[in-house]
Structure 1
Amino acid sequence: MVAASMRKGSKGKFEALPTEVELGGLDTMSSSGGAFKDSPSQGEDLDSEYGRLLLAGTATTSSDETSMMNKGEGGWFRRLVDDSSMLRWREPRTILAALCLLLLAVVAIESLVATVLRRKEDKVIHNKYHGYEWQQGLLQDYVGRPREVRSKYGVVASDQGDCSEVGAEALRAGGHAADAAVATALCLGVKNPFASGIGGGAFILVHTKTGIGNAIDAREPAPLAANETMFVDDPKKALTGGLAVGVPLELLGLHKLWVKYGRLNWEDLVLPSVELAKEGFKAHPYLVTSVKDHKEAMAANPDLGAIFMPKGRAPEVGEFCCARPQLAETL
C-alpha cells in the first residue's frame, strides 16, 4: 500500500509528499516519483493507473477544482475530484464505505504478511549483489520495527542504534551536530568494521542553519608511490597486501569537522568507542553475515581470526564477541 500526504503547491497542483506510516507493524514509505510527482496532462485518460490510485485516495491532479476537504460542498470530503473526465466520489457515505473496504483490505494484508513471516520454515533470503543473508526471524524483526523518530532539538541516524545513542548523548551534553557525527562515526568503526572505521575514509557534508553547505573530502587517496602498472603483473595485488591499501583519512576528516564546528572535548567524543572496543559487544546480524562471507580470508589472517572467529567460526547473533584492545589503545 502507498501512503501520501497532499499539499497544495504552485499553480493549483497537488504534490505528493513522502510520508512514513506504520501499518500493522509494517512500515510504508510513499513514493514521490512517477504518478505521484507529476500531474496528469489535460484530457489524459485516468481509467487505468490514475483510476486505481484514486481508489486508494493517493493520486495527484492538476485540476483547480480538486478538493481533498471541500467543506463548502455539504461537508468534508464532499468531492475528491470534480471533473467529468475523472472518477467521482460525490457522497460522504460513498467515501466512508470505500474507506471501510480499504481498512479491511489493510487488515487482511497485515494478517497475510504476519502469517508468512511467522512460518516455522527457517527460510534464507540471499542477495547476490551484497551477500546479505536474512533468516526469516531476522527479517520479521527488522520489517516490524518502527522507523519514525521525532525531536524538537535533533536526531541522529546510523546503521547501529547503540552508535546513534552515542551521538544523541553528545547532543544532550550540549554538543553540535558535528560532535554527534564524530562520536557516532567512531562507534560505527567498532561495531561495523566491515563498512566503517579509522582504516578507511569518508565524505562529510555539512548544512548549516544559514543555508551554507560545506564538504570535507576525506576519502582514501592512493599512496605516493602508486602507478598505473603496479597491478599489471598480478591483479591479486589490488585485493590484498600493502599495495591494495589507500591512505586512511577518516580520522583526519572527522578531526577537521570537529575543529570547525565542535563544542565538546575531543576526548569525550572518542571515549565511548574506546570502552566499546575494550569490552566487545553482542554480535548483530550484519556483522555475522560479513564474517561468514569472508571466513576463509579471516581464517587465513591470525589477527582477524582471533578477533572475529576466536572459536574457529563466525559468532552467533547475540553472542558476545569482538573485543579489540589494540583498537581501543589506538583510539
Structure 2
Amino acid sequence: MGQKGRKPMTLRASLGMAIVIGCMGLVTNVYQLFILRMLQGVFAGFVSNSNALIATETPKEKSGQALGTMASSFTAGNLLGPFIGGALASIFSYRVTFFITGGLLLISFFLSLFFVHETDFKPVTEKKLDKASGIIKELRSPQLIFGLLLTTLIIQAANNSINPIVSLYVKQLMANHGNVVFISGVIAALPGIATFLAASRFGALGDRIGTHKIIVGGFIGATILFFLTAFVQNTVELGILRFLVGFTDACLFPQVQTLLTKNTPAKITGRIFSWNQSAMYVGNIFGPLLGSTISGLTSYSMVFIVTAIIVVFNLILFKFNVINNLRQK
C-alpha cells in the first residue's frame, strides 16, 4: 500500500472479489468452492484500504466525520447484505446470487476507478519502512498508537463475546415460545441500525470537542448497557438495550480510527491501519470464544456482566495509555 497507493489496492480488492465471487456461481463441487473462498480472502481489503484512503485524503480536523460516515456505510452494508442475499436466493437461485454479487462488486470497481481520486499519495521508498521497527521510529508517540491498537482489539472482543449467545438468550427469555428466529434476527440487527444512524454524527462531534471524549463516553455507556442487559426480563427490554448499544459502538471503533489518523504521519497511515485491522480480527476471534466459554461454564447473563468488566478494563487502559499520552503532546 505504501508503494502503490491506496486507490490501486481498492481496485485490486474490488475487481479480484468480483471475479472470484462470480466464479463461485460456476463451481461443480465443494472443493472448487473451498478454493475460491480462500482466494476471496487473498483479494480482501477493500474496506481497510478505503479507510486508509479516506484518512489520508481528508483534512485531519474533518477525519472523524469522514471515517464515521464510512463506518455508517459499512454497517448499512452488513445489515442489508444478508437480507438482499436471502431475497435473491429465493427469487432466483444460489448460483445467480453469486453472479449478481460479482456484478455489484464490479460496479464498485468502476465507481472507484472513475470517481475516486488519490491526490495526496507519495510512494514510500524508504527501506526502513519495510520493517516494523522502522515504522515505529516514524511515530511521534508509539505508546499512544499501540494503546489504540490494543483498544481496538478489546472493543472487538467485547462486542463479539455476546454474538454466540444472543439467539439463545432470546430463546430463554421467550421460554421457547413464539417466533424465536425472527425476534433474534431483529434484535441482532438493532445495534447496527443505531450505529448507522449515529457514527458520522459522533465523528463530527468528536472533531469539535475531542475524539477521545467521545470514546470515553462510549466506554461508560457500553459498561452500563451491558451490565443492565444481564438482568432483562423480556425481549422488549433486551431489544431496547441492544439498540442503545449501537450508539456506544458508534462512539468506539470509528473514533479509534480517527485518533489513529490524527496521530499518524500520512506516509505510514496505511500500515498503521493494516495493524489496526489485524487487531480487530484478533478481537473477532477471541470474543466469541470468550462468550461461548463463559456461557458454557456459568450462564448467558454472566456473559454480559463479564463483557461489562472487560469494557471497564479497556476504559482504564485507554485512560493511561492514550489520554495521558495525548495530554503530553
Q: What range is the shorter-chain TM-score in?
A: under 0.3
TM-score (normalizing by structure 1): 0.23
Give the number of the structure whose alpha-carbon radius of gyration is greater.
1
TM-score normalised by structure 2 residue count: 0.23
- Higher relative contact order, chain-length normalized (CA < 8 Å, sep 6+): 2
Which structure has more helix as a fraction of its residues?
A: 2
